């Protein structure tokens, strides 16, 4: 069966974000994806386009790279336009004439600059400002000229004016409205912005309606305005707003708004349920959103909806903060005070050339909007008040008034922000998510950015992000936090190194040489675990037994009523009928609740401490071994039935799973390890959600690493392809031992990978290219573990001293009379 | 069992039943007590109630022993709260506490006093 096909038309910032979100969702591989990128290069950062004239190259601005797209498995048609959509036959026609079918179609066609139909607008060197090609044309046109004019005094127009000034032209801005940035700023704000820009040498002409462009005398063009004035210029840049690029949608009969824009619902679906529209081409609630943040939100919503999610697009905050020609400008929410009853406060400082205005609700409790020109230092605080409905201080004006006594203005500290506060509105990252990433191991802004993507959109929240991160780190006492606990002034990795190098064999020895006190429930199990990873001695040996968590101590999993569950090893999930019968008989005899686990095992619940050895005696006699379900250790290797039975299987996945399980069973590690082996690319064993995943190919085995399910699922990364058996095992040996060496306490391989500097490439370098020269040592260490394996339960039932430990009471036979079960669905469960 | 013997030391088990730096459970009438043995320490024997007030299971004896800022503690094996072995106080939650019992070694015998 072939995969459903998905076509994405448009590869701007929003189109790129859509692909990125889809890949992150983990479902990209379920679709055959084709991307139309009309421009000659993949998505780039249009928001920072003017940086092109500051010395940034097209590569610096690039967001998507061909290599990245290839690794995502996308078919990209760069420089090729989609020219028609046939909705009846569900096809897209490419400019080349190719006909491509789709199951789902995403339109991310963006917008085009509006060029007013002034006679003469098509003359040479009358340009627009949107693409890198436009910039190249502007650069070329500027070479022969002295004067440049931007038509349009909005946000983009002023950006374009900066570009012209950077190119050394005498720069003019011509605006139809009476003030600059009429959408975002009020009259006073616009006025101040104008005077500041004029101080920088840019001439501003407002209330100017261009009627004709014809030949100039001193320059190439002459602009003739309705009021009779004229302006001569060599170059004209139109930046008079954008229009949604809806042509394809229009000709295919999708519903289009009266003034353009592809009509979408809250799921970003167009009038055709199989077609989505996102970004500046989409019209939601009769509005076009010309900022990148709402476009990103739409991209996420469209991905979510296609995958059956429930996210909705319900409008967007259009607040902006930016530096225009070096002038700080900020606009939040209802900047014009249009809300009925709104009260506004203004503060204007001619000396400092700044203007601030806040608009608050009638009851003065909430901030509705703000305008800031010349000084945006309060922007982040004000935005948080507005977005999160935080109650204002008694005198709201104190937020924008300078402090006369030298005291700091009442900034909204990061502590005052609720968990739900959106810190990065481009990527919709909340304070709660940032805190969460810190709890999961991020220890600086960079790591938080990597984990949450915060501040990777417009970057406007970078300062706020840093203050939140710093504050949270401080609260968690990060300076000392790398120590494992108060008993050892070392990290887990350092202690592991000490144990290896000094050959330390017991916790007591380590404590005497490098620690203090008695230890605790943090360091004792961690050290016990590392000693096992290094030397593989029985965890119930006298010097180790007191280190272990109750699960390891009694080699079973404690349940909520103090009883234990037992999971015998069933390597690869393969079990004979006779052994299955034994499990049933034992469960029946000891009245245990039985359940099949996700790792293809049988879990037997409800055994009391004193029953464990009795049960294991029977299990060991039947040939079972312990399953280590209780340890931070290798748990299960799950497999599909593979080529021995399955008509699609290309290799014996069960055989490989059993070999792998028998090799690594008993290995203890920073956290639990789960494996799976699939016999073909259909992946029935779900190997890509495992710490170590192996998938058979026609030519060998593909190895995936560092995936997991659980609270925060992560798909495993493809580590190496088409390996033979021997190389596969060699790589797994090295990956696991390197994880044991460098992983943090209770850090799953997924988080380990996410925190690894250099990531997957680095791990490949270490494991495949042996850049650290560790490979041989790692293999030797693994060989020691493999050769010293013994079943912990088998060793225990023949050892009188160890068996003494399995008494519910030391002074009485039998179990705890207070454990009471009831019957539910024909089995016991705790009352 | 009756009031005459209440204040007497009562033998619970022998030293060899204890596990160094770990715990065992013992029956004391119908009640259950968790015994912890820290050889070499100033105070080496502790007895607290085996009942975990948070999980309501009788599991305290199976927790890990350690110290926090020098105070000997046991961590509940289920939800990991720390209880001071001397006072029975929970370090994370003031509203719960373990009952403690006077306990001593008399030769090879572990003796407890039930209040």
Residue-level pLDDT at A397:
86
* Rounded Cα distance, A295 and A108, in Å: 9
pLDDT in tens, A22-40: 998 888 889 999 999 999 9
Least confident range from A58-62, A354-358, A407-411, A591-595: namely A407-411
Can you state the percent helix, strand and coil of chain B, rounding each to 5? Answer: 10, 50, 45
Residue A505, pLDDT above cutoff 90: yes
* Rounded Cα distance, A546 and B50, in Å: 18
Residue B2, pLDDT above cutoff 60: no
Residue A344, pLDDT above cutoff 80: yes
Residue-level pLDDT at B1:
45
Question: A825 in the Ramachandran plot: left (φ > 0), alpha (ψ -120 to 50) or beta?
Answer: left
Average pLDDT over residues A84-110: 95
What token pair was written down for A211? 């009627």
Residue-level pLDDT at A745:
86
* CB contacts, 8 Å: A548 with chain B: 64
pLDDT in tens, A772-814: 999 999 999 999 999 999 999 999 999 998 999 999 999 999 9
Residue A411, pLDDT above cutoff 60: no
Residue-level pLDDT at A744:
87
Total number of residues shown for chain B: 115
Residue A717, pLDDT above cutoff 90: yes
What token pair was written down for A379? 């922007």
- Confidence class for position A1, pLDDT limits 50, 70, 90: low
Interface contacts A/B by beta carbons within 8 Å: 94
Average pLDDT over residues A637-644: 96
Q: Decide if B65 touches A, using CB distance below 8 A.
A: yes
How distant is the Cα of B14 from the closest Cα of chain A, in angstroms?
Answer: 9
Cβ distance A561 to B24 less than 8 Å, yes or no, reads no
Q: Which of B55, B60, B95 lies closest to B75 in space, CA to CA?
A: B60
* Rounded Cα distance, A457 and A315, in Å: 18
Domains defined along chain A, listed by start? 5-112+244-306 (3.50.50.60), 126-240 (3.50.50.60), 492-548 (no CATH), 549-630+799-831 (3.30.70), 632-790 (3.30.413.10)
pLDDT in tens, A814-825: 999 999 999 999
Residue A427, pLDDT above cutoff 90: no
Residue A479, pLDDT above cutoff 80: no
CB nearest to A562's CB, from B22, B58, B67: B58
How distant is the Cα of B3 from the closest Cα of chain A, in angstroms?
Answer: 23
Residue-level pLDDT at A478:
64
Restricting to A residues 462-491, those with a Cβ less than 8 Å away from any Cβ of B are 486-487
- Confidence class for position A269, pLDDT limits 50, 70, 90: very high
Residue A596, pLDDT above cutoff 50: yes
User: For every residue of A28-95, which 3-state class applies, written as one string?
Assistant: HHHCEEEEEECCCCCCECCCCHHHHHHCCCHHHHECCCHHHHHHCCEEEEECCCEEEEECCCCEEEEC
User: For every residue of B5-41, which 3-state class applies, written as one string?
Assistant: HCCCEEEEEEHHHCCECEEEEEEECCEEEEEEECCCC
User: Mutation test of the interface with chain B: which of A508, A515, A563, A811, choosing the one with the most B Cβ atoms within 10 A?
Assistant: A811
pTM (2 d.p.): 0.55
Cβ distance A521 to B78 less than 8 Å, yes or no, reads no
* CB contacts, 8 Å: B69 with chain A: 486
pLDDT in tens, A247-264: 999 999 999 999 899 999
CB nearest to A546's CB, from B22, B57, B67: B22
CB nearest to B55's CB, from A520, A521, A560: A560
Average pLDDT over residues A305-311: 89
Least confident range from A113-117, A385-389, B11-15: namely A385-389
Q: Decide if B63 touches A, using CB distance below 8 A.
A: yes
User: Range of B74's domain?
Assistant: 3-113
- For residue B39, what is the domain's CATH number? 2.102.10.10
Q: Please give the backbone phi and psi of residue B55, each rounded to the nearest 5 degrees, phi first.
A: -90, -15
Residue-level pLDDT at B59:
96
Structural domains counted in chain B: 1
- What angle do the packed helices A725-742 and A492-502 form, to 10 degrees? 110
Q: Decide if A826 touches B, using CB distance below 8 A.
A: no
What token pair was written down for A637? 């290797």
Average pLDDT over residues A434-440: 87
Of all helices (H) and strands (E), which one includes residue A275?
A: strand A275-277
**Residue written as tokens 């034994």?**
A582
pLDDT in tens, A142-191: 988 899 999 999 888 998 898 899 888 999 999 998 999 988 899 999 99
In terms of CA atoms, which chain A residue is nearest residue B55?
A: A560
Average pLDDT over residues B54-73: 93
In terms of CA atoms, which chain B residue is nearest residue A521?
A: B64
Cβ distance B62 to A558 less than 8 Å, yes or no, reads yes
Q: Per DSSP, what are the bridge partners of residue A720? A: A703
Cβ–Cβ under 8 Å, residues B74 and B83: yes
How distant is the Cα of B105 from the closest Cα of chain A, in angstroms?
Answer: 16
Residue A124, pLDDT above cutoff 60: yes
Cβ–Cβ under 8 Å, residues A235 and A138: yes
Q: Decide if B105 touches A, using CB distance below 8 A.
A: no
pLDDT in tens, A735-766: 999 999 999 888 899 888 877 777 888 899 99
Of all helices (H) and strands (E), which one includes residue A331?
A: strand A327-333
Residue-level pLDDT at A406:
44
CB nearest to A809's CB, from B27, B67, B73: B27
CB nearest to B25's CB, from A554, A560, A808: A808
Cβ distance A521 to B80 less than 8 Å, yes or no, reads yes
SS3 state at A125 = coil
Residue A413, pLDDT above cutoff 80: no
Rg from Cα positions in chain B? 14
Cβ distance B67 to A562 less than 8 Å, yes or no, reads no
CB nearest to A545's CB, from B19, B27, B41: B19
pLDDT in tens, B6-17: 568 899 999 999
Residue-level pLDDT at A482:
64
CB nearest to A546's CB, from B65, B67, B70: B65
Residue A577, pLDDT above cutoff 60: yes
Q: Are strands A104-107 and A275-277 parallel, antiparallel or unpaired?
A: parallel
CB nearest to B58's CB, from A517, A804, A816: A816
Residue A612, pLDDT above cutoff 70: yes
Top-confidence residue, A493 or A318: A493
Cβ–Cβ under 8 Å, residues A204 and A179: no
Q: Which of A677, A554, A556 lies closest to A605 in space, CA to CA?
A: A556
Average pLDDT over residues A666-691: 96
How distant is the Cα of B114 from the closest Cα of chain A, in angstroms?
Answer: 16
Q: For chain A, what is the mean pLDDT?
A: 90
How distant is the Cα of B42 from the closest Cα of chain A, in angstroms?
Answer: 12
Average pLDDT over residues A323-349: 88
């Amino acid at each position: 069966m072939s995969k459903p096909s998905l076509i994405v038309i448009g590869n701007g910032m929003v189109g790129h974000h859509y692909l990125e979100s889809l890949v992150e969702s983990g479902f990209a591989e379920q679709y055959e994806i084709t991307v139309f990128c009309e421009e000659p290069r993949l998505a780039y950062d249009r928001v920072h386009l003017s940086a092109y004239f500051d010395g940034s190259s097209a590569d610096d601005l690039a967001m998507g790279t061909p290599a990245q797209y290839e690794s995502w498995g996308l078919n990209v048609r760069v420089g090729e336009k989609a020219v028609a959509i046939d909705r009846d036959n569900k096809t897209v026609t490419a400019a080349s004439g190719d006909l491509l079918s789709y199951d789902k179609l995403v339109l991310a066609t963006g917008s085009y600059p509006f060029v007013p139909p002034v006679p003469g607008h098509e003359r040479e060197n009358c340009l627009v400002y949107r693409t890198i090609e436009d910039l190249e044309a502007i650069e070329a046109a500027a070479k022969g000229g002295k004067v440049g004019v931007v038509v349009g005094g909005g946000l983009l127009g002023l950006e374009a004016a900066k570009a012209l000034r950077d190119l050394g032209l005498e720069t003019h801005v011509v605006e139809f409205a009476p003030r600059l940035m009429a959408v975002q700023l009020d009259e006073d704000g616009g006025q101040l912005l104008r005077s500041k820009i004029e101080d920088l040498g840019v001439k501003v002409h407002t209330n100017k309606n261009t009627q004709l462009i014809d030949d100039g005398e001193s320059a190439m063009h002459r602009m003739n305005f309705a009021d009779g004035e004229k302006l001569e210029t060599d170059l004209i840049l139109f930046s008079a707003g954008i229009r949604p690029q809806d042509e394809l949608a229009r000709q295919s009969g999708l519903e289009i708004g009266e003034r353009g824009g592809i009509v979408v619902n809250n799921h970003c679906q167009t009038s055709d349920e199989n077609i989505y529209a996102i970004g500046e081409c989409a019209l939601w609630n009769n509005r076009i959103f010309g900022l990148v943040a709402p476009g990103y939100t739409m991209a996420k919503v469209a991905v979510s909806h296609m995958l059956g999610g429930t996210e909705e697009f319900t409008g967007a905050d259009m607040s902006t903060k930016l530096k225009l020609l070096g002038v700080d400008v900020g606009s939040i929410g209802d900047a014009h005070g249009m809300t009925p009853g709104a009260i506004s406060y203004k503060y204007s400082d001619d000396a400092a050339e700044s203007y601030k205005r806040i608009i608050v609700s009638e009851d003065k409790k909430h901030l509705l909007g703000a305008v800031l020109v010349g000084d945006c230092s309060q922007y982040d605080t004000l935005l948080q008040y507005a977005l999160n409905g935080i109650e204002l201080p008694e005198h709201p004006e104190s937020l924008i008034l300078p402090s006369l006594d030298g005291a700091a203005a009442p900034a909204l500290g990061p502590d005052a922000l609720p968990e739900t506060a959106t810190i990065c509105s481009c990527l919709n990252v909340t304070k709660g998510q940032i805190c969460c990433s810190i709890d999961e191991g991020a220890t600086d802004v960079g790591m938080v950015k990597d984990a949450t993507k915060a501040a990777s959109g417009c970057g406007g929240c970078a300062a706020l992000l840093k203050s939140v991160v710093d504050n949270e780190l401080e609260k968690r006492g990060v300076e000392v936090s790398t120590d494992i606990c108060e008993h050892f002034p070392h990290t887990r990795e350092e202690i592991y190194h000490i144990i290896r190098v000094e050959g330390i064999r017991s916790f007591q020895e380590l404590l005497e040489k490098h620690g203090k006190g008695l230890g605790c429930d943090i360091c004792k199990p961690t050290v016990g675990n590392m000693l096992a990873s290094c030397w593989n001695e029985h965890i119930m040996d006298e010097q180790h037994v007191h280190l272990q968590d109750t699960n390891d101590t009694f080699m079973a999993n404690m349940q909520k009523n103090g009883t234990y569950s037992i999971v015998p090893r069933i390597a690869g999930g393969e079990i004979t009928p006779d052994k299955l019968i034994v499990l049933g008989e034992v469960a029946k005899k000891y009245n245990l609740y039985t359940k099949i686990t996700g790792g293809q095992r049988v879990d037997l619940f409800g055994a009391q401490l004193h029953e464990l050895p009795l049960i294991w005696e029977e299990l060991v006699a039947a040939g079972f071994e312990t399953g280590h379900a209780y340890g931070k250790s290798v748990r299960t290797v799950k497999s599909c039935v593979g080529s021995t039975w399955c008509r699609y299987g290309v290799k014996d996945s069960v055989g490989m799973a059993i070999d792998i399980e028998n090799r690594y069973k008993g290995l203890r590690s920073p956290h639990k390890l789960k494996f799976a082996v699939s016999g073909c690319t259909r992946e029935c064993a779900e190997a890509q959600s495992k710490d170590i995943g192996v998938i058979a190919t026609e030519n060998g085995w593909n190895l995936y690493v560092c995936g997991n399910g659980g609270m925060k699922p992560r798909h495993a990364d493809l580590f190496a392809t088409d390996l033979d058996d021997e190389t596969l095992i060699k790589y797994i040996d090295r990956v696991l031992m390197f994880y044991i060496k460098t992983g943090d306490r209770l850090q799953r391989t997924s988080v380990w990978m996410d925190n690894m500097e250099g990531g997957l490439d680095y791990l490949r370098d270490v494991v495949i290219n042996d850049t650290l020269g560790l490979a041989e040592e790692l293999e030797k260490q693994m060989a020691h573990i493999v050769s010293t394996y013994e079943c912990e339960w088998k060793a225990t039932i023949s050892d009188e001293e160890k068996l003494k430990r399995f008494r519910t009471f030391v002074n009485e036979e039998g179990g705890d009379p207070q454990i009471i079960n009831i019957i539910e669905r024909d089995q016991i469960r705790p009352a | 069992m009756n009031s005459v013997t209440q204040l007497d030391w009562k033998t619970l088990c022998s030293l060899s039943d204890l596990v160094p730096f770990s715990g065992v459970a013992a029956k004391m009438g119908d009640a259950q007590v968790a015994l912890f043995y820290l050889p070499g320490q100033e105070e080496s024997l502790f007895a607290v109630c085996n009942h975990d007030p948070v999980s309501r299971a009788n599991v305290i004896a199976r927790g890990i022993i350690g110290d926090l800022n020098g105070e000997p503690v046991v961590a509940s094996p289920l939800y990991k709260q720390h209880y001071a072995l001397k006072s029975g106080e929970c370090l994370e939650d003031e509203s719960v506490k373990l009952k403690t019992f006077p306990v001593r070694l008399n030769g090879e015998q572990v003796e407890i006093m039930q209040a």
